[in-house]
């Protein structure tokens, strides 16, 4: 187990290896979420959808002046947005190919992140935490790709992602720990009872065995609050936390349907491997 | 100053500023509000998922037709998020639509009074929901339609209970729109059977 953990951490022990891992996972996440958006385009941003431009753009008509304004206005039209998201898929595929041949992936990443900005501005009512994480990962990758020869900037980029992930888990854990309903399991039980974020069978199981929902809540709080140990612990501790994290996000996706968290949060895990390795050895490779 | 060093320092400062803004945004208050006002691309996250108070009830969008005689059609559920399936671990496009509905409904307070209803009816959120509802398939005989939000929750015994939260105005359907719906029978949104 110790050997496996050490080997796993070593896979991402240099900035190149960690950023490569992050780029591939990020690109896969972008491809899947972009395809999901295209599947739902009619209900989201086409004229018959919630976020039709005739509704959402009404307040911007006077501000859409000049070449840039007109360009932005055009990019918000349904079919242009379809094309842009299609372009983002293509750029993400290229990103994976560029990573595979060890080429600089600035161009596909610039395209991906430009579309990201347009989508985030245009479809802001649709965004969740995973979209915010995808923005953090994407722009950090972009900066590290632009300054490909500056080792310190690449280390800073990986440290930034690790800090954001640790902060994310810490804030989520603290907010839960400060609430009685999370400690006694009622919060989780209530969420499991919803049609949208729950599973009826699990809800009934939780009602029948309240100790189980309480234990699950405690595990989530403990995992989130103690995540910094993954950075300073031995390789086995780091790998255990990352496996627990993957299982946690798989569970959240399976029970609550938040699948994109799995892609974009796990995409930051190579940064955790790198940071923990650097902190342990004191060497910034 | 060495330009490389200057650029490096600038990038590191940028990362530090981004992290600091993220930390500051985690605290409720006017500072968070100010930061989020300028965060038009949603690059500064708030990380308190499902805490401190998680979602314990569902929001359900229902629509009904209104006929020229004043007769009301049955309420139908607009399916925005299907029950959980195992493939949702990797692929779950419909959650986006439901998330939009949840975010739009946030503009309505949890215990709304008459003033809140009026405020909501003037909001972009209301117009967005109305737009979707007006494009749903409906009876060609209907002269108007109406939508409502229902809060749905599960009792400890596993039974679903619901209560109405918001009832829209009567939305008049123009003849052009009715004709359009008769011909196209909009395939974009599935609508469940009578409730």
Q: Please give the Cα distance from A238 to A227 (Å, whole number).
A: 9
Q: Please give the Cα distance from A31 to A264 (Å, whole number).
A: 12
How many degrees, rounded to 5, is the angle at CA B109 between CA B105 and CA B110?
95
Which residue, among A257, A282, A269, A21, has the nearest Cα to A169 in the 3D structure?
A269
- A262 CB neighbours in chain B (<8 A) are 89-90
Is the pLDDT reported for residue B108 higher than 90?
A: no
pTM for the model: 0.90
Best-predicted range by mean pLDDT (A61-70, A201-210, B105-114, B176-185): A201-210
CA distance B158 to chain A (A): 6
Query: How does pLDDT run across A117-153, given as a tens digit for each residue?
Result: 999 999 988 888 999 999 999 999 999 999 999 999 9
What is the β-pairing status of strands B160-167 and B191-194? unpaired
Asked if A164 reaches chain B (Cβ–Cβ under 8 Å), the answer is yes
Is the pLDDT reported for residue A281 higher than 90?
A: no
What pLDDT was estimated at residue B110? 63
> Do residues A77 and A53 touch, judged by C-beta distance below 8 A?
yes
More confident residue, A217 or B184: A217
B111: confidence class by pLDDT, cuts 50, 70, 90: low
CA distance A96 to chain B (A): 19
Mean pLDDT over the full length of chain A: 91
Q: Please give the Cα distance from B181 to B141 (Å, whole number).
A: 11
- B94 CB neighbours in chain A (<8 A) are 40
More confident residue, A276 or B164: A276
- Give the residue-averaged pLDDT of B64-76: 92
What pLDDT was estimated at residue B195? 35
- Give the residue-averaged pLDDT of B15-29: 95
CA distance A55 to chain B (A): 6
What pLDDT was estimated at residue B48? 84
B63: confidence class by pLDDT, cuts 50, 70, 90: very high
- Write b or e for each residue in A47-61: b if 16 or more Cβ atoms lie within 10 A of its Cβ, otherwise e: ebbbbbbebbbeeee
| Alpha carbon separation from A269 to A93, A106, B55 (Å, rounded) | 21, 21, 28
- Give the residue-averaged pLDDT of A58-80: 80
Cβ <8 Å between A153 and B19: no
- Give the residue-averaged pLDDT of B12-27: 96
CA distance A142 to chain B (A): 12
Which residue, among A73, A104, A109, has the nearest Cα to A92 in the 3D structure?
A109
Cβ <8 Å between B156 and A207: yes
Q: What share of chain A is helix, strand, coil (3-state, %, to 5)?
A: 80, 0, 20
User: Which of A194, A198, A263 best tests the B interface by mutation, with the highest count of B CBs <10 A?
Assistant: A194
- Give the residue-averaged pLDDT of A32-57: 92
Residues facing B76 on adjacent strands: B63, B194
Cis peptide before B52 (omega within 30 of 0): yes
| Alpha carbon separation from A59 to A56, A63, A73, A111, A126 (Å, rounded) | 7, 8, 12, 27, 18
More confident residue, B1 or A267: A267
């Amino acid at each position: 187990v110790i050997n496996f953990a050490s080997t796993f951490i070593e896979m991402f022990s240099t900035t190149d290896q960690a950023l490569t891992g992050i780029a591939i996972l990020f690109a896969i996440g972008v491809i899947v979420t972009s395809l999901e958006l295209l599947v739902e385009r009619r209900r989201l941003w086409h004229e018959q959808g919630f976020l039709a431009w005739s509704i959402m753009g009404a307040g911007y008509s006077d501000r859409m002046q000049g070449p840039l304004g007109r360009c932005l206005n055009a990019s918000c039209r349904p079919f242009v947005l379809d094309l842009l998201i299609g372009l983002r898929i293509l750029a993400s595929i290229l990103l994976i190919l560029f990573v595979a041949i060890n080429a600089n992936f600035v161009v596909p990443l610039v395209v991906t992140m430009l579309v990201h900005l347009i989508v985030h501005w245009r479809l802001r009512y649709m965004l969740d935490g995973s979209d915010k994480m995808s923005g953090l990962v994407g722009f950090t990758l972009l900066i590290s790709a632009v300054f490909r020869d500056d080792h310190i900037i690449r280390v800073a980029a990986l440290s930034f992602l690790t800090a954001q992930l640790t902060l994310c888990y810490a804030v989520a854990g603290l907010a839960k720990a400060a609430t009685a309903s999370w400690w006694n399991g009622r919060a989780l039980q209530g969420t499991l009872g919803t049609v949208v974020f729950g599973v009826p069978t699990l809800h009934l199981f939780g009602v029948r065995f309240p100790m189980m929902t309480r234990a699950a809540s405690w595990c989530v709080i403990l995992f989130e609050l103690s995540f910094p140990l993954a950075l300073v612990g031995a390789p086995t501790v780091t790998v255990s936390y990352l496996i627990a994290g993957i299982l946690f996000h798989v569970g959240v996706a399976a029970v609550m349907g938040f699948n994109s968290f799995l892609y974009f949060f796990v995409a930051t895990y190579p940064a955790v491997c790198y940071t923990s390795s650097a902190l342990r050895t004191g060497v910034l490779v | 100053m060495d330009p490389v060093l200057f650029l490096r320092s600038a990038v590191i400062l940028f990362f530090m500023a981004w992290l600091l803004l993220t930390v500051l945004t985690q605290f409720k208050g006017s500072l968070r509000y100010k930061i989020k006002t300028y965060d038009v691309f949603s690059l500064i996250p708030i990380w308190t998922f499902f805490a401190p108070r998680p979602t314990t009830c569902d929001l359900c969008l229902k629509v009904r037709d209104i006929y020229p005689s004043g007769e009301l059609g049955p309420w139908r559920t607009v399916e925005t998020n299907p029950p959980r399936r195992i493939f949702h671990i990797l692929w779950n496009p419909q959650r986006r639509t439901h998330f939009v509905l949840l975010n739009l409904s946030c503009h309505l307070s949890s215990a709304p009074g008459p003033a809140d209803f009026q405020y909501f009816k003037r909001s972009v959120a209301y117009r967005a929901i109305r737009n979707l509802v007006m494009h749903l398939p409906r009876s060609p005989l209907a002269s108007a339609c109406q939508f409502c939000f229902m809060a749905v929750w599960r009792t400890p015994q596993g039974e679903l209970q619901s209560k109405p939260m918001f009832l829209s105005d009567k939305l008049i359907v123009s003849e052009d729109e009715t004709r359009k719906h008769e011909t196209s029978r909009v395939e974009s949104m599935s609508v469940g059977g009578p409730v």
